[in-house]
Amino acid sequence: MQQLDEVTELLFSSGSPMPGAKVSQDEAVRIVRERYPYAEYCLVSRWRWIDLDVTPEQRNELARTNRQPVVIYAHTVIYDSQRRWDVGDFVRTSYLHKFEDGFIFKTLNSIYILIGDGIRTRASIETLGRIF
């Protein structure tokens, strides 16, 4: 039961408010296509920025591969350019590579545009792993 409580808290706790893009879907697509014309992208809303508790060894390994111990969990996919997810699906990203302009979350293989405000929270890798 504790594991279920941890997952529920991760997905639905209040956390700290975090601003995202205040743009329309069309404007978000224009921005990403202008900056990254050949990249795959996904527009998401109702998102959660999850800082992961990691060991120093895990942090070093992520740093060695140009990643950070952060992922996005989005309750709602607005649009995915690769059609990996349908409109309305949820998605969890891989680890953060770069964060730009307060709403562009880049992984090593995709770009996520964080539409609207989100929540910043913290979790263990084990808890995160339970949602997939």
How would you classify the pairing of strands 104-106 and 111-114? Answer: antiparallel
Residue 91 clears pLDDT 80, i.e. is over it: yes
Tell me how far apart the alpha carbons of residues 83 and 47 are, in angstroms, rounded to a whole number: 19
Per the DSSP assignment, residues forming a β-bridge with 71 are 50
What's the whole-number mean pLDDT along residues 3-14?
A: 63
- Condensed to tens digits (0 to 9), the pLDDT of residues 32-61 reads 999 999 999 999 999 999 999 999 999 999
Token reading at 40:
């795959």
Per-residue pLDDT band for 104 (boundaries 50, 70, 90) equals very high
pLDDT at position 124, please?
77
What's the whole-number mean pLDDT along residues 90-107?
A: 96
- Condensed to tens digits (0 to 9), the pLDDT of residues 20-36 reads 999 999 999 999 999 99
pLDDT at position 5, please?
58
Q: What is the DSSP string of 39-66?
A: --EEEEEEEEEEEEE--HHHHHHHHHTT
Say if CB 41 and CB 112 are below 8 A apart.
yes
Residue 7 clears pLDDT 60, i.e. is over it: no
Tell me how far apart the alpha carbons of residues 44 and 73 are, in angstroms, rounded to a whole number: 9
Q: To 5 degrees, how large is the angle CA 77–CA 78–CA 80?
A: 75
